[in-house]
Chain A
């Protein structure tokens, strides 16, 4: 069974600085997807960024980028120019590509609570 581990329960960053959240996963599959979700106090789960395992290039979405190391099974999230609105719980998630798009639940890590100091 696949597992996702986030080893940092809490992180803190100064506004405008850069922070990196860590995530490791375990799988025997070669094709899968990785995600970072943000959960602000409103509880809404918001997709931040996704990475297809077959792509070597790291995904980037504005101030958010990932460092995907497939051999090391590592998937870290870097937030640049941190803003107060980035304060939230961040979840790393894994999804198998085995059954295509019609099946495939997300497996989540325990989350990292990010605080942003003004």
Chain B
């Protein structure tokens, strides 16, 4: 158990809908990263938050947004969903200060039908 909790584990929704994925980082970790894992694109970095502020952006679509709350949990919002958004979405967290390691949650499997 990495200590990073993601909910829900599975999500099935229709095209055009909006969903919210939730991530609780390890206790004390200030950084949260979101990744998308799909068969054709592999593991892609989406966005990073550090202590409530957006720190880095990767290949995140405009239909997607994220935020990190004062209690450090983070939410990834996906809207106007398309079939191609079906993927495994991972959250990872890392401690404050100098560190090399990121701890991953078990992911949310999103299926858009």
A residues sitting closer than 8 Å to B (CB atoms) are: 33, 42-47, 50, 52, 91, 95, 100-111
A100 to B92, CA, bound (A): 17
Q: Could you say which residues of chain B place their CB within 8 Å of the CB of A111?
A: 42-43
Chain A residues with CB below 8 A from B43, complex form: 91, 106, 108, 111
CB distance from A54 to the nearest CB of B (A): 12
Residue contact B98 to A100, C-beta cutoff 8 Å: yes
User: Restricting to B57-113, which residues have a CB under 8 Å from any CB of A?
Assistant: 58, 88, 90, 92, 94-104, 106-107, 109
A-B pairs with beta carbons under 8 A, tally: 60
Interface size class of B (residues with CB under 8 A): 20 to 34
Closest 7 CB pairs of A and B: A45-B104, A108-B43, A101-B98, A101-B99, A105-B45, A110-B42, A33-B100
What is the distance, in angstroms, from B34's C-beta to the closest C-beta of chain A?
Answer: 9
Of B42, B48, B88, which is within 8 A of A105 by CB?
B48
By a beta-carbon cutoff of 8 Å, the part of chain B in contact with chain A is 2, 30-31, 33, 35, 42-43, 45, 48, 50, 55-56, 58, 88, 90, 92, 94-104, 106-107, 109
Q: Are B98 and A43 in contact (CB under 8 A)?
A: no
Known: A44-B106, A101-B95, A103-B50. A50 touches B101 (CB 8 A): yes
Residues of A close to B2: CB separation below 8 A = 44
Q: Decide: A105 and B98 in contact? CB cutoff 8 A.
A: no
Give the one of A42, A102, A105, A109 with max B CB within 10 A.
A105
Partner of B101, one of A47, A100, A109: A47
